[in-house]
Structure 1
């Protein structure tokens, strides 16, 4: 037996067997053997595949797509096992504070080839934490583009600047983080699965797949949406909603200097037994001037009969050329992209065990209307780094203390109404064009109200004042849309949302007026009381969205 000791262990991708469960085998619905290959299969099998990695969007092969579709089928009745790669950021941040940190990674710790799209403002939050420099931002940025469109087919469009306008290379960014982490004394255990986790009064002990043991004061679960630890905590519960994403990176586009933050299709489509409403995003790729990445996504409730990713890709090949004004025959497909992003109303996820904390997508801290948690990671990393460091330093590692780091956030819960409103379902009493009409009405109102209202929303931050102004203006200018909203989402959903709306107002009041009165006295409190109240103040601030300062965006972009 070999026992290593770390202050913090961060899991990114591994097998987990603390509570084994046998799942029934499922038959594939797509009869690939009995019929001719789909267009998706032909396209994907013609593309060379190199360097597939873990995490969302890290695999590109057709076999990987089939595995993901099997995973999606199982979500409708059980929870799967998967992993992610963003734990290196919190690991580096904690190492910079002097903690000894180890990362356990079943595969190789590296970033995917496909770019992440983000704003400079969000990357500068990593600079503020101290794990990135502005020179690093320049090195990892592959593409910069403006303006950025929010379009609504047959309704209209608005244009904004500096929203998701950078293409960042995950491979370069993760490599910088990896070098910085090891320079700070961090250890990376690659090719190591974990078979068991044992939590004791004074430590958490991990049994690795090679039979060795790792002892740690705190385990950070950074395995993403399909963390097996989260599966155990949620007791196999189905997600409350799922965002399915498909797309590609292609070469052959001529007009390639602007992006689409969101483009909403005009009406609802029928795929199999389900009604779906398609949304689009499009970004210039940093790998070449004629290369462009386009995504098509939809929101669904997981249930039998939901479309598979391959079925969505078949629609994608038909619809993308019309959306982008190009012939598919004129494009060279470089990569095919797909992903499943489940969300739960009970989020962020409170700690269920002593010495185990969920981080990033595993914690559910990302917005239910976005797919991918890199933006939420940059936003919350400073808060979580401070809180984790204080918890480890003072041994506040019981489940109750750790739960204060993933608190209830009413602005996150309030976002659920938007996902429900953007999810299509068969309703004879609601127009097929309703989603498009509602979105355009909201975006048009936000544009009239200006940047302090529009910019936070576009970066997944809901604030009480801007939300009240937007809803008020929509009611005044489009009163006839209100009955359709009630029909679309239902009275019970609106009633539940109204409770979070009231709490959003309360958190805004507490952060604006009570926080300034209490914060100066924190240092006079006993250590445990100081920790608890600091996390409450942070919950008020982040739960009301008041951590986001819209004016910072303009200032940072001017500096750039």
Structure 2
């Protein structure tokens, strides 16, 4: 028996596929008879006899998994059959024509209840959101998030302008609304209260007057956070939390994490054992408790939080930036001014879209999931372990779906379902489609009866990515404005964790921003040096690119799993610390090249697969990233003495030439953090009384 054909058919309606198969017309002769079967059909070749005395036969059958239909064709003998190639080619072409890719738009909200509006299209999603506390509000948030993301992707040439120069006149209605408003004065104004509050609290404790704006009630999260002890240590060293406070924030800590991708349809060289990473994302943080504690520390340091407040626009002048907002419950206008505006609004940031001409991101991970507080049968999952990356099937309706599972507090388990996605106006990526998948296929991933589960809250969002060649190819700053976190596409290309990426780079960002503020170096030419670019991360974007099925394209269903298993199989053979460094964005030039060569040697087809998915243009872009990574690694090796030298001359250089010092400090971090080799400073920035800044040089 030999497998001849394996297709992904992008529809969940397997009955329609089977009905069509049993009526399809194929280019056969009179010696071939077609017989319908419950799962497809058989082609019997009556003119030949097989080895066991039965007629030679092609068997075509279908099955359903992940709300997707799959088809395989097998030949029962070893030798080719008459017209075999023509028959299978015709079958493939007709299937593609009859069942093309379909990228549905969310329905309009036509009634007072979002449940009523979405029930026909997304019945499972509506059903299980109704089981969650505040489910209607959460589903409204999912819908709002998707609509805002789609608007940005589908209108890339016309991003909404929200940043203005102080000379530009606002619309008359806005001018009348804000003209009588007094202005609160701050050093820093953060827009976005999730990742933003962590950085805001750090800066407030350094002595700066900080304002945090948050559209939602402060402390509400639609994602959970996982990190390792070593990574969280940077927040302790910065003085934001004590070791005891960190322990109080831990919801769960598991002993080992697993990485395993479906390989039943992979060739032998693309099968892999389970990769164990016991110190990757093994700490589940109580996100809401973390935000609450960060908010308390921000207020204790003199900062303010305006929650349920929507950012409208900012006017940038030579001396300050003025932010105009609306308090949503009261619809009252309010404005504040500060020395610097920090964009921490995440993927939906209108500031990020405007700064980058409407093309803020190259890729995205639409991510959905839920926190489930019990209801699984004993033995389904051991809370001592985490499932860091897992797939239980091949490409599903143009996406390679990947699961994550992390133990939480008590009996809680946090599930995520996501896929790596190429941003495309016809197919921006849908949270609602993903949620319908999530609730339907969860029992396929982990045995359960969804009706018996205790649904605590949803977790969802768009996690962006930007394919950078060098630090300067993405704009993250303007005069008196800087972006951090997801708004700056600060994330890991492998596990797409914006929280971990921000925490890992927080000492670097804090030191540079503190230096710029102390010396009033707040023009774009200075602020653009304050970024968390890592050349060792930029070179790995081709890895995530290889996990994206281009919009409108069909590729072999097992292709993405085969590539993932090739790389993770090699990591599983390496010392544990190498896999740990790779997943945490700490892999250096030599380990990266060694792994790439091993992968190409083990699976030579890998290069062709990547070419097919990425194309010549992106491969050339990647070559630029690789050259930049190589040069950065070489400079880090040659100039490894520079950070120590910079620390020695700081007392003399900084007060005399602050702009030169900021540049030198940024270069020092680029030689360490920028190649995945962070170095602890002898002492973190210290709280200080802000004095009138010196004139920049």
Query: TM above 0.5, one fold?
Result: yes
Deviation (angstroms), 1:69: 3.2
- Stretch of structure 1 that moved more, 388-397 or 432-441: 432-441
Structure 1 pair 426–62 and aligned structure 2 pair: CA distance change class (3 A): closer
Q: Deviations over 1:33-83 (max 9, x none)?
A: 794761111111232218xxxxxxxx9622223323323432431368995
Deviation of 1:333 (Å):
2.4
Matched, 1:534 2:665: yes
| Aligned equivalent of 2:132 | 47
1:389-404 mapped onto 2 (5 Å cutoff)? 389-404=514-529
Matched, 1:134 2:243: yes
Bigger drift between 169-178 and 94-103 goes to: 94-103
Q: Distance in 2 between matches of 1:405 and 1:238?
A: 18
Cα deviations by residue, 1:169-199 (Å, 9 ceiling, x for unpaired): 1121112212222222222233444443222
Structure 2 counterpart of 1:262: 389
In the alignment, the residues of structure 2 paired with residue 438 and residue 37 of structure 1 have an alpha-carbon distance, to the nearest angstrom, of 32
Of the structure 1 ranges 527-536 and 189-198, higher mean CA displacement relative to structure 2 is found in: 189-198
Please, what TM-score do these two structures have when normalized by structure 1?
A: 0.84
Native 8 Å contact 1:144 1:167 kept in 2: yes
Contact 2:494 2:583 in 1 (8 A): no
Query: Judging changes above 3 Å, is the alpha-carbon distance between structure 1 residues 444 and 548 closer, same or farther for their aligned structure 2 residues?
Result: farther
* 1:501 to 2:626 alignment: yes
Match of 1:63 among 140, 152, 160: 140
- Compute the displacement of 1:277 (Å): 0.8
Is the counterpart of residue 204 in structure 1 residue 289 in structure 2?
A: no
Which position in structure 1 is the counterpart of 2:357? Answer: 235
CA contact (8 A) 2:352 2:360 kept: no
- Alpha-carbon distance change, 429 to 38 in structure 1, aligned in 2, over 3 angstroms: closer
| Gapped regions of structure 2 (runs ≥ 5) | 1-104, 111-116, 161-190, 264-270, 327-331, 681-697
The whole-number CA distance in structure 1 between the counterparts of 2:547 and 2:106 is 31
For residues 27 and 424 of structure 1, what CA distance do their matches in structure 2 show? Answer: 21
State the partner residue of 1:279. Answer: 402
Tell me if the contact between 1:87 and 1:222 (Cα under 8 Å) persists in the aligned partners: yes
Q: CA deviation at 1:389?
A: 0.8
* Greater mean alpha carbon deviation, residues 64-73 or residues 421-430: 421-430
Distance of 1:484 and 1:232 partners within structure 2 = 35
Number of aligned positions between the proteins? 510
Aligned-residue CA RMSD in angstroms? 2.8
Q: Is the 8 A contact 2:122 2:432 kept in 1?
A: no
Decide whether aligned partners of structure 1 residues 60 and 114 sit closer, same or farther in structure 2, where only a CA change above 3 A counts: farther
- What does 1:409-424 correspond to in 2, within 5 Å? 409-424=534-549
- Indicate the structure whose relative CO is greater, using CA pairs within 8 Å and at least 6 residues apart: 1
User: Is 1:164 equivalent to 2:281 in the alignment?
Assistant: yes
Aligned mates of 2:309, 2:437 — CA distance in 1:
39
Are the counterparts in 2 of residues 69 and 308 from structure 1 also a CA contact under 8 Å? yes
> The residue matched to 1:202 in structure 2 has which SS?
coil
Change (3 A) 1:441 1:29: farther
1:297 and 1:114 map into 2 onto residues whose CA distance is 13
SS of the counterpart of 2:640? helix
Q: How does 1:24-173 map to 2 (within 5 A)?
A: 28=107, 32=117, 35=120, 38-49=123-134, 61-78=138-155, 83-112=192-221, 115-154=224-263, 155=271, 156-173=273-290
Q: What residue is the counterpart of 2:637 in the other structure?
A: 512
Deviation at 1:432, TM superposition (A): 2.0
Quick check: 2:257–2:276 contact (8 Å CA) kept in 1?
yes
1:23 corresponds to? none
For 1:324 and 1:244, how far apart are their aligned partners in 2? Answer: 21
CA contact (8 A) 2:124 2:440 kept: no
Task: State the shift of 1:84 in Å.
Answer: 4.6
- TM-score, reference length from structure 2: 0.68
In the alignment, the residues of structure 2 paired with residue 317 and residue 158 of structure 1 have an alpha-carbon distance, to the nearest angstrom, of: 27
Question: Could you say which residue in structure 2 is the equivalent of 1:345?
Answer: 467
1:304 Cα shift?
1.4
For residue 404 of structure 1, report the CA deviation from its aligned partner.
0.3
* Whole-angstrom CA distance in 2 between matches of 1:333 and 1:107: 22
User: 1:535 & 1:73 partners in 2: Cα distance?
Assistant: 36
Contact 1:463-1:504 within 8 A present in 2 as well = no
**Displacement, 1:400?**
0.4
Contact 2:223 2:461 in 1 (8 A): no
CA distance in 1 between partners of 2:573 and 2:625 (Å): 26
Counterpart contact for 2:222–2:461, Cα < 8 Å: no
| Mapped pair 1:485 → 2:583 | no
Q: Once the 2 structures are TM-superposed, how far is the Cα of residue 477 of structure 1 from its aligned partner?
A: 2.5
Q: Which residue of 2 aligns with 1:557?
A: none
Deviation at 1:245?
A: 1.0
**1:542 Cα deviation (Å)?**
2.0
Please, which of 443, 466, 470 is the counterpart of residue 321 of structure 1?
Answer: 443
Q: Is the 8 A contact 2:258 2:276 kept in 1?
A: yes
Contact between 1:507 and 1:541, CA under 8 Å: does it hold in 2? no
What CA distance in whole angstroms lies between the structure 2 residues aligned with 1:542 and 1:316?
37
Whole-angstrom distance in 1 between the partners of 2:353 and 2:552: 32
TM-aligned CA distance change 1:30 to 1:453, over 3 Å? farther
Aligned with 1:268: secondary structure?
Answer: coil
Change (3 A) 1:431 1:72: same
Q: Deviations over 1:441-463 (max 9, x none)?
A: 11121232323421122223443
- State whether residues 491 and 501 of structure 2, in contact with CA within 8 Å, keep that contact through their aligned partners in structure 1: yes
Alpha carbons of 1:224 and 1:509: their partners in 2 closer, same or farther (altered >3 Å)? same
Q: Assess if the C-alpha contact under 8 Å between 1:351 and 1:399 holds in 2.
A: no
Q: 2:298 aligns with which of 147, 162, 181?
A: 181
User: In 1, are the aligned partners of 2:401 and 2:419 still within 8 Å (CA)?
Assistant: yes
SS of match in other structure, 2:464: strand
Does the CA contact (< 8 Å) of 1:143 and 1:166 recur in 2? Answer: yes
The 1-side partners of 2:516 and 2:420 are apart by 37
- Give me the whole-angstrom Cα distance separating, in 2, the residues matched to 1:114 and 1:361: 13
Deviations 1:501-532 (A, max 9, x none): 12112212222331314641542433221111
- Distance in 1 between residues matched to 2:312 and 2:552, nearest whole Å: 47
